[in-house]
Chain A
Amino acid sequence: MVDSAEPRRPGTDGSGRRRRGRAGKPRRLTPQPAWRPTAALARAVVLSAALLLLAVLLRRADLVVLAAPLVLGAVFGLVGRPAAGPSIRLRVPRDTMLEGGRATITASVTAPDGADIAAVQLELPPDLVTPTALVAVPVPPGDRSVDVGFRMRTVRWGRRQVGPAWVRATAAFGLLSWPPVRTETTAATTWPLREGFDAADTVPRAEGLVGAHVSRRPGEGGDLAGVRPFVPGDRLRRINWRVTGRTGELHVTATYSDRDTEVLLMLDSAHDLGRAPESSLDVGVRAGGAIAEHYLRAGDRVGLIDLGNPQRRVPPRNGRSHLVRLLDVLMDAKPRRDQRYDPATAEAAALSAPHALVVLLSPLTNPAALAAVAAVARSGRSVVAVDTLPTDIQPDRHSDWSDLAFRIWRLRRSADLDRLAELGIPVVPWGGAGSLDQVLRDATRAARAAR
């Protein structure tokens, strides 16, 4: 049995004996990588030899002059030829990349002294764009490594493999070359955070008594509510001495209480309509990431249900590390055509806090998602539907009836949206930061009026 920790020598079996083919003849070995002569070296040797031979036979010194640069160029170049081959290592940024952001992937090339040129090529997935993926750099003297940076822009969120990277080295001023050496691929993650979501009016109904949202209820908070006369029970440190001194009566500084809330994101990944990187799932994942980041930064608890994969639920939690967990689940979202309405999904949403804000991220074409969000709305929670359907969506033309079918589909969807409106579920298209301001303001007003 061969110990896997000990590498085999090429061309031998586990016991070190040379492998043989069926006929008992030794197998042909794979050629070992080595510095090999290029066409330039062969040219220099053959032509200079011919010229010198003719110079002798014809007794012409001018042919020696013609041959001299070829011979001397070869000799000068080969004097400092390297012995070992080059190596290459690929490094992706340790920090996670953000969608639409820029990053530098570095290929670190080490070549022995005497090598001249290292041509490095990096293979990239289509979601990572770089102006040039092929760079030729001089090899520094003294066995030092040279870092080749590939500046790139991330077009779309997701997990992907970067690489492999190849290096092709030449030495002796183009007279020797080493076969291409490649790296393994490296995983790179791009988070679906393109722009920060920012809501002026944060949550319709806050849940707890401690948090970052300013409530309309006076209490121990940071935001100034006004100055009022002192009443028994007020804390002494709240006394506003300036107003007290001016009026001659005790006054205290009143503040609003700070509160937090719970936000539940429901991602509808059943259908992915449109084309990447602006498809409905792209927009939904981006919106989910932005909203989650916003509310987590405010100290709220955020949960997630992927309607396409209800088993992967993220219970509401808060904190920066929770954002990573949410983004992990968001990035695993994949469209599933066979998805059916799962009543457990609505039940799970119903288990969220009574005053939770439920945000549905959906192209609103999936009856299962509409049914689930309708059930949540009936439970009395504040629900906002974010329409992720691309505005410029066009039907695939299969037949002459495609346009008509598309119009009927549009009308049916419009009727569904009307039914959502009847249930009091506002529908807003995702437009980046500030998308939900008006809706949240209306929902807050409605929640306050109901009480």
Chain B
Amino acid sequence: MTGLAGWSRTALVVRALMLAAGAGALVGAGWVGGLPVVGLVVGALGLMAALIQPGGLGPAVVIGGAAGAWVVRYGVDQASATGTVLLALALAVFHQAAGLAAALPPTARVDPAIVVRFARHGALVLAASAVVGALALLLVRPAGSSSLELLGIVAVVIAVVVPVLLSRSGPREPDAR
């Protein structure tokens, strides 16, 4: 593995963004304060693994850890809207940055247009997520209802099935000369 001196500036900037967003998500979710030392170590190791190998399990550990801590922290109570939005923003940025970092070899010379393209996609996703999140927060009924649960189950099914179906493409032979 090449040392950090050989890494491109883009790779370093993207990892710095991952570090800030990942650490912010873990701290903001209550991972650091709410869990014992083991949790802290796991979170730090996950973050480190994500920075070193963003195409591995590290990012999933960070996002899953932060979301898990958030779930544990509030239990069956509703979390504050501001904290939720900030955590969602941090997780989204971390997820997107990890995807970009995994696609870019760290020592490669990177065309800045790639970063712009990813940033534009991220902004679009955040804008759409803001609408969805606002709807979810506004429409929630504290007592709960069967319609909400049904809606949630449908959403789970869609969330799992749609990306899986969309990701399937027929194999084609590359035309290498």
With A69-B129, A87-B176, A136-B103 already in contact, 6 other A-B pairs whose C-beta atoms are closer than 8 Å: A52-B155, A68-B88, A76-B121, A136-B114, A173-B118, A184-B177
Q: A48-81: contact bitstring with B at CB < 8 Å (1 yes, 0 no)? A: 1111111110111111111111111111111101
In the bound complex, how far is the Cα of B71 from the Cα of A449, in angstroms? 105
Shortest C-beta distance, B58 to chain A (Å), equals: 9
In the bound complex, how far is the Cα of B7 from the Cα of A375, in angstroms? 61
Majority SS at the chain B contact face: helix
In the bound complex, how far is the Cα of B105 from the Cα of A121, in angstroms? 10
In the complex, 28 of the A-B residue pairs with CB atoms within 8 angstroms, ordered by the A residue number, are A35-B167, A40-B55, A43-B60, A44-B163, A52-B152, A53-B156, A60-B71, A61-B139, A62-B70, A62-B137, A64-B133, A64-B136, A65-B132, A66-B67, A66-B88, A66-B91, A68-B128, A68-B129, A69-B88, A69-B92, A78-B166, A81-B166, A85-B173, A134-B108, A138-B114, A138-B117, A175-B99, A183-B177
Name which of B99, B113, B140 has the most chain A CB atoms within 10 A of its CB. B99
Shortest C-beta distance, B76 to chain A (Å), equals: 5
Shortest C-beta distance, A129 to chain B (Å), equals: 15
Q: Which residues of A contact B81 (CB under 8 A)?
A: 62
Q: Which residues of A contact B78 (CB under 8 A)?
A: 60-62
Q: Which of B159-175 contact A (CB under 8 A)?
A: 159-160, 162-164, 166-167, 169-175
> Which residue in chain B gives the minimum CB-CB distance to A69?
B92
Check A187 for interface membership: any CB of B closer than 8 A: no
Q: Which residues of A contact B160 (CB under 8 A)?
A: 45, 49
Shortest C-beta distance, B71 to chain A (Å), equals: 6
> Which residue in chain A gives the minimum CB-CB distance to B148?
A59
Check A330 for interface membership: any CB of B closer than 8 A: no
Check A89 for interface membership: any CB of B closer than 8 A: yes
Given A69-B91, A69-B95, verify A136-B111 contact (CB < 8 Å).
Answer: yes
> Which residue in chain A gives the minimum CB-CB distance to B160?
A49
Q: Which of A155-190 contact B (CB under 8 A)?
A: 168, 170, 172-178, 181-184
Across the interface, do B159 and A49 meet the contact criterion of CB distance under 8 Å? yes
Check A371 for interface membership: any CB of B closer than 8 A: no
Across the interface, do A34 and B170 meet the contact criterion of CB distance under 8 Å? yes
Given A33-B171, A39-B55, A177-B103, verify A75-B129 contact (CB < 8 Å).
Answer: no
In the bound complex, how far is the Cα of B92 from the Cα of A54, in angstroms? 19
Q: A87-109: contact bitstring with B at CB < 8 Å (1 yes, 0 no)? A: 11110000000000000000000
Q: A349-371: contact bitstring with B at CB < 8 Å (1 yes, 0 no)? A: 00000000000000000000000
Check B87 for interface membership: any CB of A closer than 8 A: yes
Q: B62-79: contact bitstring with A at CB < 8 Å (1 yes, 0 no)? A: 011001001100111111
Given A38-B55, A73-B96, verify A176-B167 contact (CB < 8 Å).
Answer: yes
> Which residue in chain B gives the minimum CB-CB distance to A166?
B176
Across the interface, do B105 and A134 meet the contact criterion of CB distance under 8 Å? yes
